[in-house]
Amino acid sequence: MSEDLEAKFLRKIEGEEKIEPKDWMPDGYCKNLIRQISQHAHSEVIGMQPEGNWITRAPSLRRKAVLLAKVQDEGGHGLYLYSATETLGISRDEMIHALQTGEAKYASIFNYPAQTWADVGAIGWLVDGAAIVNQVSLQRTSYGPYARGMVRICKEESFHQRQGYELMLVLARGSDDQKALAQDALNRFYWPSLMMFGPHDAESAHTAKSMQWKIKRQSNDELRQKFIDQTAPQIDFLGLDHPDPECKWNEERGHYDNGEIDWDEFYDVINGNGHCNRQRIEHHVRAHREGEWVRAAMQTYEARKKKAKAA
Amino acid sequence: MKAKILEYSTRLGDDSLVLGHRLSEWCSNAPFLEEDLALINVALDYIGRARMFYGYAAELSADGRNEDDFAFMRDQREFSNLLIHELPKGDFAFTMLRQLFIDLFNSLFLPRLAESSDKTLAAIAAKAIKETRYHLRRSHEWTLRFGLGTDESRERAQRAIDQLWGYTHEMFDLDALESELAEAGIGVDSGALKTEWEQQVSAILTEAELEQPGEQWAVKGGREGYHTENLGQLLNEMQSVHRAYPGLEW
Ligand SMILES: [Fe+2]
Ligand SMILES: [Fe+2]
């Protein structure tokens, strides 16, 4: 019986049909999805912190409004992805618990500090940019709710990337001080953005199974290459120095070559020892704890209203 | 008259910007994600209003200043927001009760301003009315949740009301400039709104089983730049980047 179900499931995957919440799916597929989508949701939510940290200091009212709206979008993505994960039979409370206890991960990039105003530009341009490369690929992921979520989210991410790049452009064409801010932000965020695609394919723990189930459609290294290729001319157009001196166009490959990523740093941050790992989770835990009485009041009030209605 | 309208629009811009700033401080700090998004929404509405009021002030000044000069290049003694807007965000009850008092005020004030003989002020107000309707729905609902929720939420809400009460009176004061503009049909006679505001506050607090403070105290001075210590700190933060690199485009 279960073999039939699994065969049917695999046939669907094979035929590029979407798997929907009510469909039978192997346990491993479901677990894998929960891990990936909730991690994605947590990333959106934790990602509100580094940029949110600049809302009160944005140097113009227009930038302040744009940044507020962007951070709001990210929160909205988080909500949307939490709902998509809930279709797999896990509650938001459980997911938040997993985040706060370190059981679930979020994108490591958000453990890097947003130190200067230019970082807001660099994050929009590079971090949202890298996220898009990944998410465009995920629009073809095999799980229906996730695939549809990606289509919707990608549109907004592209908007964020353009805004971030435009912010960088203004700085890069501005005063010497502004240009230095832009270069510094690029230098700090370039490599971590490359790391967003995860370890090399050979070292990636989840890639093989995820590819077979078509949760992932392209490998880490393929996606990273795509990002490197799209970013090099953008850096050039800004008139900034490329942070990777080995980044050169390779005619033969039809791609840019690049220098090696510092994987020690990558694993250090992944393992919880980046500049902001502890701070990000503590922040989330604090806000959640401070909100406890609010959520309790809401529940009590709703229960009271229901009771009054019934009576 | 132009100089007076400029001043009036600046004041309304200051109110909006300072409150928008306080609301924006909730970003990633709200009790749950949906509320983060809702608070950002309201903050965005206020930042938007600030830009329109300052933009109009800049236009009237005709001296090359823009909205950002009003927001970032004036010191706290020149800021003329009413004090209630600058008080720290406090806990979630404080933020929502402040909203209730201000939303109720705005729901009375804006429809009058929308009838201003000054077309620009009227247009800004007309746009803001819709936003305020949504803000008030929220702050009203939250007041009920606090008052009819748990012991803790009721206590927190009551404390917020008691702390805020003395800052509400200033909303209904008019100085010479505001009186003159009200008489000319340009500004709003906010003093005339007080009775209705009090009735509405009282009705909502009663519905929420919360108490309206009997004690009468009033702290005032915002329109003359006589602020609490909070505004200086708020502006230090808000203006820091802009002022570190003067005269640049962002
Ligand atoms: Fe996002
Ligand atoms: Fe984004």
pLDDT in tens, A264-299: 999 999 999 999 999 999 999 999 999 999 999 999
Q: Using CA atoms, how far apart are residues B118 and B122, in angstroms rounded to an integer?
A: 6
Number of domains in chain B: 1
Question: Chain A: which residues have CB within 8 Å of chain B?
Answer: 45, 48-49, 52, 55-65, 68-69, 71-72, 75-76, 78-79, 82, 117, 170, 174-175, 177-178, 283, 287-288, 290-298, 300-301, 304
Nearest to A18 by CA among A126, A113, A150: A150
Question: Which of B47, B153, B242 is closest, CB to CB, to A293?
Answer: B153
Residue B249 belongs to a domain: no
Q: What is the CA radius of gyration of chain B?
A: 18
Q: Compute the distance from residue A150 Cα to the ligand 2 centre, in Å.
A: 12
Mean of pLDDT over chain B: 97
B207: CATH: 1.20.1260.10
* Predicted confidence (pLDDT) at residue B94 exceeds the cutoff of 60: yes
Q: What is the pLDDT of residues A229-259, one digit of tens each?
A: 999 999 999 999 999 999 999 999 999 999 9
Residue B78 belongs to a domain: yes
Query: In the block, which residue shows the tokens 């039939």?
Result: A4
Q: What is the pLDDT of residue B133?
A: 98
Residue B11 belongs to a domain: yes
Q: Compute the distance from residue B10 Cα to the ligand 1 centre, in Å.
A: 36
User: Which residues does chain B have within 8 Å of residue A43's beta carbon, measured at their own beta carbons?
Assistant: none
* Predicted confidence (pLDDT) at residue A1 exceeds the cutoff of 80: no
| H or E element at residue B45 | helix B33-61
Q: What is the pLDDT of residues A182-202, one digit of tens each?
A: 999 999 999 999 999 999 988
* Predicted confidence (pLDDT) at residue A204 exceeds the cutoff of 90: no
Instruction: Look at B29 and A292 and tell me if their CB atoms are within 8 Å.
Output: no
Q: Using CA atoms, how far apart are residues A179 and A170, in angstroms rounded to an integer?
A: 9
Q: Using CA atoms, how far apart are residues A55 and A71, in angstroms rounded to an integer?
A: 9
Task: Name residue A173's amino acid.
Answer: R
Per cent of chain A over pLDDT 90 is: 94
Band (pLDDT 50/70/90 cuts) for residue A70 is: very high
Closest residue in B to A285 (Cα) is B29
Residue B6 belongs to a domain: yes
Instruction: Kindly state the average pLDDT of the residues B208-231.
Output: 95
* Predicted confidence (pLDDT) at residue B217 exceeds the cutoff of 70: yes
Instruction: Kindly state the average pLDDT of the residues A75-102.
Output: 98
* Predicted confidence (pLDDT) at residue A14 exceeds the cutoff of 90: yes
Per cent of chain B over pLDDT 70 is: 100
Question: Half-sphere exposure of residue A290, counting CA atoms within 13 Å on the CB side?
Answer: 15
First-to-last alpha carbon distance for chain A, in angstroms, is: 49
Q: Compute the distance from residue A128 Cα to the ligand 2 centre, in Å.
A: 5
Note down the domain range covering B220.
2-244
Residue B186 belongs to a domain: yes
Residue B212 carries which DSSP code? Answer: P
Q: What is the pLDDT of residue A96?
A: 98
Nearest to B53 by CA among B35, B40, B37, B71: B71
Band (pLDDT 50/70/90 cuts) for residue B216 is: confident
Contact (Cβ atoms closer than 8 angstroms) between residue B161 and residue B143 = no
Closest residue in A to B31 (Cα) is A291
Residue B108 belongs to a domain: yes
User: Which residues does chain A have within 8 Å of residue B86's beta carbon, measured at their own beta carbons?
Assistant: none
Q: Using CA atoms, how far apart are residues A285 and A48, in angstroms rounded to an integer?
A: 14
Per cent of chain B over pLDDT 90 is: 98
- Best of B23, B26, B28, B240 to disrupt the A interface (most A CBs within 10 Å) is B28
User: Which residues does chain B have within 8 Å of residue A65's beta carbon, measured at their own beta carbons?
Assistant: 44, 47-48, 51
Instruction: Kindly state the average pLDDT of the residues B43-57.
Output: 98
Instruction: Look at B68 and A61 and tell me if their CB atoms are within 8 Å.
Output: yes
- Best of A83, A169, A293 to disrupt the B interface (most B CBs within 10 Å) is A293
Q: Compute the distance from residue B167 Cα to the ligand 1 centre, in Å.
A: 39
Ligand with an atom nearest the CA of residue A70: 2
Q: Using CA atoms, how far apart are residues B86 and B229, in angstroms rounded to an integer?
A: 9
CB pairs under 8 A between A and B: 130
Q: How far is A130 from chain B (nearest CA, A)?
A: 23
Q: Compute the distance from residue A259 Cα to the ligand 1 centre, in Å.
A: 28
Task: Name residue A91's amino acid.
Answer: S
Ligand with an atom nearest the CA of residue A76: 1
Q: What is the pLDDT of residue A3?
A: 72
Residue B159 belongs to a domain: yes
Q: How far is A158 from chain B (nearest CA, A)?
A: 20
Q: What is the pLDDT of residue A202?
A: 87
Instruction: Look at A297 and B50 and tell me if their CB atoms are within 8 Å.
Output: no
Residue B250 belongs to a domain: no
Q: How far is A308 from chain B (nearest CA, A)?
A: 12
Question: Which of B25, B48, B148 is closest, CB to CB, to A304?
Answer: B148
Q: Which of A1-5, B96-100, B143-147, B246-250 has the lowest mean pLDDT?
A: A1-5
Residue B67 carries which DSSP code? Answer: H
Report yes or no: B43 at the A interface, CB cutoff 8 Å: yes
Q: Residue A28 is encoded by which pair of tokens? A: 């491993």
The answer to whether ipTM exceeds 0.90 is yes
Residue B225 carries which DSSP code? Answer: T
- DSSP letters spanning chain A: -HHHHHHHHHHHHHTTPPB-TTS---HHHHHHHHHHHHHHHHHHHHTHHHHHTTGGG-SSHHHHHHHHHHHHHHHHHHHHHHHHHHTTT--HHHHHHHHHTTSS---GGGGS---SHHHHHHIIIIIHHHHHHHHHHHTT-SBHHHHHHHHHHHHHHHHHHHHHHHHHHHHHTS-HHHHHHHHHHHHHHHHHHHHTT-S-GGG-SSHHHHHHTTSS-S-HHHHHHHHHHHHHHHHHHHTPPPS-TT-EEETTTTEEE-PPP-HHHHHHIIIIISSSHHHHHHHHHHHHHHTHHHHHHHHHHHHHHHHHHH-
* Predicted confidence (pLDDT) at residue A205 exceeds the cutoff of 90: no
- The neighbouring-strand residues paired with A257 are A248
Residue B140 carries which DSSP code? Answer: H
Report yes or no: B1 at the A interface, CB cutoff 8 Å: no
- The neighbouring-strand residues paired with A255 are A250
